[in-house]
A and B are shown apart, each in its own frame.
Chain A
Amino acid sequence: QSVLTQPPSASGTPGQRVTISCSGSSSNIGSNYVYWYQQLPGTAPKLLIYRNNQRPSGVPDRFSGSKSGTSASLAISGLRSEDEADYYCAAWDDSLSASYVFGTGTKVTVL
Chain B
Amino acid sequence: EVQLVESGGGVVRPGGSLRLSCAASGFTFDDYGMSWVRQAPGKGLEWVSGINWNGGSTGYADSVKGRFTISRDNAKNSLYLQMNSLRAEDTALYHCARDLEVTVTGAFDIWGQGTMVTVSS
Contact = CB atoms under 8 A, between A and B. Distances in A.
Interface string A33-65: 101010100001111001100001000000000
Interface residues of B, number: 24
A68 interface: no
Contact of A44 (B50, B105, B107, B112): B112
Interface in B32-64: 35, 37, 44-47, 50, 59-62
A100 B63 CA distance: 12
Nearest to B93: A44
B70 to A, nearest CB: 13
**Range for the number of chain A residues in contact with chain B:** 20 to 34
Interface string B80-98: 0000000000000001000
Interface of A: 2, 33, 35, 37, 39, 44-47, 50-51, 56, 88, 90-92, 96-105
